[in-house]
Chain A
Amino acid sequence: AQTVTQSQPEMSVQEAETVTLSCTYDTSENNYYLFWYKQPPSRQMILVIRQEAYKQQNATENRFSVNFQKAAKSFSLKISDSQLGDTAMYFCAFMNILTGGGNKLTFGTGTQLKVEL
């Protein structure tokens, strides 16, 4: 079974600064996807970024980028130019893509990020 570990329960960053959230995972699979979801106080789960394991290039979405280290099983999220609206719980998630058992998400326990003035 896959496991996802987020070792930082809480983090804070000053507005306009850069912050990195850590995530490690354990799997014996070779083909999988990784995700970062954001959950603001509204409780809605919002996709931030997605990374396919077969792609060597790190995914980026505007101010959000990942550092994907497949051999180390590490998938960190970097938020640049942090904004107050980035305050949220961030979840790292793993998805296997095997047919007959695929598309299921395994989540980490989350990192609560607070952006301060």
Chain B
Amino acid sequence: DAEITQSPRHKITETGRQVTLACHQTWNHNNMFWYRQDLGHGLRLIHYSYGVHDTNKGEVSDGYSVSRSNTEDLPLTLESAASSQTSVYFCASSLSLTDTQYFGPGTRLTVL
């Protein structure tokens, strides 16, 4: 079955380290998204992509970057991890601009 996966599911890192979270979908969806979930804020959009080589900043993009080299993957990189980036990260994808977004299982990241 087609699906969307995230890895790792849990990660602990130290302040200042570079961290990359993986997102992979097998639905051949054009659109991919990264959100972070924090208590009291719901989910907030970090970056998104409408296709290969397309990336856009979301609401809370500072300190994060993404690249889209193929349809299936949108890795999220924290260039220099900060304690404020401790959160649960969700990847999502959708086929078209009017399609429902489907979410991965999430990655819990702790920055010490």
Count how many pairs of residues, one from A and one from B, have CB atoms less than 8 Å apart in the complex: 57
Report the separation of the CA atoms of residues A4 and B31 in the bound assembly, to the nearest whole angstrom. Answer: 22
How far is B102's CA from A72's CA once the two chains are assembled, in angstroms? 28
- Contact size range, B: 20 to 34
Q: Say yes or no: A105 contacts B43, CB within 8 Å.
A: yes
**What is the CB-to-nearest-CB distance from B46 to chain A, in angstroms, rounded to a whole number?**
11
User: A44-B105, A103-B101 are contacts. A108–B45 as well, Cβ < 8 Å?
Assistant: no
Cross-chain contact of B44 among A35, A44, A107 (Cβ < 8 A): A107
**Interface residue SS majority, chain B:** strand
Q: How big is the A interface, by class?
A: 20 to 34
Of the residues A95, A97, A107, contact of B42 by C-beta under 8 Å: A107
Cβ of A16 under 8 Å from chain B: no
A102 interface residue, CB < 8 Å from B?
yes
Query: In the bound complex, what is the Cα–Cα distance between A92 and B27 (angstroms)?
Result: 25
**Of residues 17 to 66 in A, which have CB atoms within 8 Å of B's CB atoms?**
33, 35, 37, 42-47, 50
Contacting A103 at CB < 8 Å: which of B31, B42, B102, B106? B31
Asked whether A47 and B100 contact (CB < 8 A) given A104-B33, A104-B48, A104-B58, the answer is: yes
Known A35-B100, A105-B101; 7 more pairs at CB < 8 Å: A47-B100, A47-B102, A93-B43, A103-B96, A103-B99, A107-B35, A109-B42
Binding site for B on A (CB under 8 A): 4, 33, 35, 37, 42-47, 50, 91, 93, 95, 97, 99, 102-110
